[in-house]
């Protein structure tokens, strides 16, 4: 008998996108979806179509374009949500309706104001309604881990009888612990008739830092689908991280004899893409994909790794697609070498995009002696993941020093027209930000500003991440350049583009507001 498969259900584009500052445009979501397809996920939860017109369009676009993954749409357990969800995914090769309702007494009493009986009826009706559209229906008991276990068994049984083909048990508030979650899964499997005929799934949140441990405990007890996100992004403390679950299953195959279809070498490129699209950096000590995940600092560790890498490394960086930090290209490198390196990264560009990227690479190589892999990633990220460009930077010039008040002039293309503005500031970045605000007429609060070096040396590329807020709408932006003031300008403009896009495309509902 072959090894059992654990299906990977990626919800980066739905639960991940719900995290503050992680909102994405339709084009950005599609870009991530293409990469998830390459990564080999089984199911992409593309969004929550009823939540906004923008999300509906994004889900429909993904359903049209992605051919090798199932495409799921989240819908609350009501007919309107299900109609809208189906409308968005019906063109997919393999569409899935994912419908849910809360089952815990806390949610029933305070949020739904419904009795247990009423909720069972809603489950039955919603799943039966979804089945009129497709065979492939997933049902989730929101807040399952705080639900009375007998009632949870009842709710799951009703969903199965109504035709659900996947039953998902979410730890919505990240409350459970591995032994308890294992027990819940065991009891469900023992008591619920028909559960052995459907796929049992889990969906864990990370409020106590246990999302991955809980998911693994559930797999041991028979769960054969895990719901997770790239970089663990998601509501509050996030969701179970895809890369951690997949690599735990792979590295500790001795204890978890299951397979996934993930192409692990695509993990790092996917992590980078999600971080560039959302503007949310991965913490340096993050397992698998953090900047320090394979860095050995202590002398004793370096010595051990140089003698035999297995002394301190339980997996090879190449296995997860982390490129070695070798010097790859310089200003004499030609198109062929550049294209080859891009393809190693997983970027297959058409001729027009390639020419733009190549010119940007040449400009960078003129300023920097060595161009590292990370520099190229930053450059490509900037070129291709930024979208909704209402504002484009044409030039930025500034002067500052110990004896003068910093001053900056920016030239922007705004909705197709060139606009120039100058301002003084407390420092060069402040002057640039004031000039950009004047030119765009946008004056958001700057909540967060971080500079980090992407590569080493005094000619390193600096990456700036900013978070801005206006009228309760938040957005993040990133920019990279060898000059950190220029990187700051790019990051601010990127954040303003997203902010304006978000303000023009407000969400109508949240997935938790039933
Ligand atoms: O956390 C949760 O309960 C969810 C459900 C909608 C599956 O995201
Ligand atoms: Zn969730």
DSSP at 135? S
Q: Which whole number is the average pLDDT over 456-480? A: 79
Q: Please state the atom number of ligand 1 nearest to the C-alpha of residue 142.
A: 3
Domains of the chain with CATH codes: 4-278 (3.20.20.70), 295-384 (no CATH), 391-504 (3.30.160.270)
- State the pLDDT at residue 510: 35
Tokens 């960078």 found at: 364
Kindly report which listed range (134-138, 228-232, 246-250, 390-394) carries the lowest average pLDDT score: 390-394
How far apart are the C-alpha atoms of 156 and 164, rounded to whole Å?
9
Q: Do 240 and 21 contact (CB within 8 A), yes or no? A: no
Residue whose Cα lies nearest atom 1 of ligand 1: it is: 172
| More reliable by pLDDT, 105 or 308 | 105
- C-alpha 15 – ligand 1 centre gap (Å): 7
Kindly report which listed range (246-255, 262-271, 290-299) carries the lowest average pLDDT score: 290-299
| More reliable by pLDDT, 507 or 154 | 154
Q: Which ligand is nearest to the CA of 228?
A: 2
| More reliable by pLDDT, 117 or 353 | 117
pLDDT at 123 > cutoff 80:
yes
Geometric angle at alpha carbon 273, from 491 and 324, rounded to 5°: 105
3-state helix, strand, coil in the chain (%, to 5): 45, 25, 30
Kindly report which listed range (98-107, 115-124, 186-195, 386-395) carries the lowest average pLDDT score: 386-395
DSSP at 512? T
- C-alpha 172 – ligand 1 centre gap (Å): 6
Residue whose Cα lies nearest atom 8 of ligand 1: it is: 15
Q: Please state the atom number of ligand 1 nearest to the C-alpha of residue 143.
A: 3
- Cα 134 versus chain centre, distance: 27
Q: In 3D, which of 262, 281, 261 has the Cα closest to residue 272?
A: 281
How far apart are the C-alpha atoms of 26 and 101, rounded to whole Å?
27
- State the pLDDT at residue 331: 77
| More reliable by pLDDT, 18 or 412 | 412
- List CB contacts of 373: < 8 A, sequence separation 6 or more: 323, 324, 325, 326, 328, 341, 345
Ligand 1: residues whose CB is within 6 Å?
A: 15, 100, 140, 142, 168, 170, 172, 203, 205, 511
Residue 339 phi/psi, 5° resolution? -65, -40
Residue whose Cα lies nearest atom 5 of ligand 1: it is: 142
pLDDT band at 43 (very low <50, low <70, confident <90, very high): very high
- State the pLDDT at residue 190: 98
- State the pLDDT at residue 452: 77
Kindly report which listed range (110-119, 181-190, 255-264, 376-385) carries the lowest average pLDDT score: 376-385
- C-alpha 45 – ligand 2 centre gap (Å): 11
Kindly report which listed range (39-53, 82-96, 428-442, 454-468) carries the lowest average pLDDT score: 454-468
How far apart are the C-alpha atoms of 433 and 437, rounded to whole Å?
6
Q: Do 483 and 470 contact (CB within 8 A), yes or no? A: no
pLDDT band at 455 (very low <50, low <70, confident <90, very high): low
- State the pLDDT at residue 479: 84
3-state SS record for 298-311? CHHHHHHHHHCHHH
Q: Which whole number is the average pLDDT over 10-24? A: 91
| More reliable by pLDDT, 277 or 44 | 44
- State the pLDDT at residue 419: 94
Q: Which whole number is the average pLDDT over 252-267? A: 97
Q: What is the pTM of this model?
A: 0.74
What digits encode the pLDDT tens for the residues 180-208? 999 999 999 999 999 999 999 999 999 99
Neighbours of 316 (CB within 10 A): 11
Q: Which whole number is the average pLDDT over 221-241? A: 97
Q: Do 465 and 477 contact (CB within 8 A), yes or no? A: yes
pLDDT at 177 > cutoff 80:
yes
Task: Return the axis-axis angle of helices 373-385 and 351-367, rounded to nearest 10°.
Answer: 130
- State the pLDDT at residue 447: 85
- State which H helix or E strand residue 155 sits in: helix 149-162
Kindly report which listed range (119-128, 387-396, 411-420) carries the lowest average pLDDT score: 387-396
Q: Please state the atom number of ligand 1 nearest to the C-alpha of residue 11.
A: 8
Q: Do 205 and 174 contact (CB within 8 A), yes or no? A: yes
What digits encode the pLDDT tens for the residues 342-368? 776 667 788 888 898 899 888 888 887
Q: Do 194 and 159 contact (CB within 8 A), yes or no? A: no
- State the pLDDT at residue 250: 98
- C-alpha 60 – ligand 2 centre gap (Å): 21
Q: Please state the atom number of ligand 1 nearest to the C-alpha of residue 173.
A: 1
Q: Which whole number is the average pLDDT over 104-126? A: 98
Kindly report which listed range (34-48, 131-145, 236-250, 377-391) carries the lowest average pLDDT score: 377-391
Residues with CB under 5 A from ligand 2 (ion): 15
Mean pLDDT computed over every residue of the chain = 89
Residue 252 phi/psi, 5° resolution? -105, 45
- State the pLDDT at residue 514: 30
- C-alpha 142 – ligand 1 centre gap (Å): 6
- C-alpha 512 – ligand 1 centre gap (Å): 8
- State the pLDDT at residue 390: 87
């Amino acid at each position: 008998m072959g090894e059992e498969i654990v299906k990977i259900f990626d919800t980066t584009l739905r639960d991940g996108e719900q995290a503050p500052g992680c909102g994405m445009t339709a084009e950005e979501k599609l870009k991530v979806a293409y990469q998830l397809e390459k990564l080999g996920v089984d199911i992409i939860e593309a969004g929550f179509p009823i939540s906004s017109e923008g999300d509906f369009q994004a889900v429909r676009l993904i359903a049209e374009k992605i051919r090798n993954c199932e495409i799921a749409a989240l819908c609350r357990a009501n007919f309107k949500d299900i109609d809208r969800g189906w409308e968005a995914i019906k063109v997919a090769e393999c569409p899935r309706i994912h419908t849910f309702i809360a089952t815990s007494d806390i949610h029933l009493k305070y949020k739904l104001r419904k009795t247990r009986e009423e909720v069972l009826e809603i489950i039955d009706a919603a799943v039966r309604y979804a089945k009129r559209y497709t065979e492939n229906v997933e049902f989730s008991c929101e807040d399952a881990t705080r639900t009375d276990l007998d009632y949870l068994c009842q709710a799951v049984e009703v969903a199965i009888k109504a035709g659900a083909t996947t039953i998902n048990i979410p730890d919505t508030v990240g409350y459970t612990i591995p032994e308890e979650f294992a027990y819940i899964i065991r009891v469900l499997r023992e008591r619920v008739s028909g559960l052995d005929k459907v796929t049992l799934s889990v969906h864990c949140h990370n409020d106590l830092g246990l999302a991955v441990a809980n998911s693994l405990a559930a797999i041991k007890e028979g769960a054969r689908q895990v719901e997770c996100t790239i970089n663990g992004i998601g509501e509050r403390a996030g969701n179970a991280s895809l890369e951690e679950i997949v690599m735990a299953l792979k590295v500790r195959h001795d204890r978890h004899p299951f397979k996934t279809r993930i192409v692990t070498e695509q993990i790092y490129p996917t992590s980078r893409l999600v971080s560039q699209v959302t503007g949310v950096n991965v913490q340096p000590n993050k397992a698998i994909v953090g900047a320090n995940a394979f860095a050995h600092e202590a002398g004793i560790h370096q010595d051990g790794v140089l003698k035999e890498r297995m002394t301190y490394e339980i997996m090879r960086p190449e296995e997860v697609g982390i490129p070695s930090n070798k010097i790859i290209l310089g200003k004499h490198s030609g198109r062929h070498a550049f294209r080859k390196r891009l393809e190693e990264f997983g970027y297959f560009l058409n001729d027009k995009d390639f020419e733009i990227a190549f010119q940007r690479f040449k400009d960078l190589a003129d300023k920097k002696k060595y161009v590292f892999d990370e520099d190229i990633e930053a450059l490509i990220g900037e070129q291709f993941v930024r979208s909704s460009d209402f504002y484009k930077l044409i030039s930025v010039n500034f002067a500052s020093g110990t004896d003068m008040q910093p001053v900056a002039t920016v030239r922007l293309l705004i909705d197709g027209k060139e606009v120039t503005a100058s301002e003084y500031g407390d420092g060069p970045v402040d002057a640039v930000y004031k000039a950009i605000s004047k030119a765009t007429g946008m004056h958001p609060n700057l909540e967060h500003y971080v500079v980090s070096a992407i590569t080493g040396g005094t000619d390193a590329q600096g990456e700036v991440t900013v978070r801005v807020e206006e009228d309760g709408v938040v957005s993040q932006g990133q920019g990279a350049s060898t000059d950190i003031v220029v990187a700051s300008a790019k990051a601010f403009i990127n954040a303003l583009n997203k902010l304006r896009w978000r303000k023009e495309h407000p969400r109508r509902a949240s997935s938790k507001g039933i």
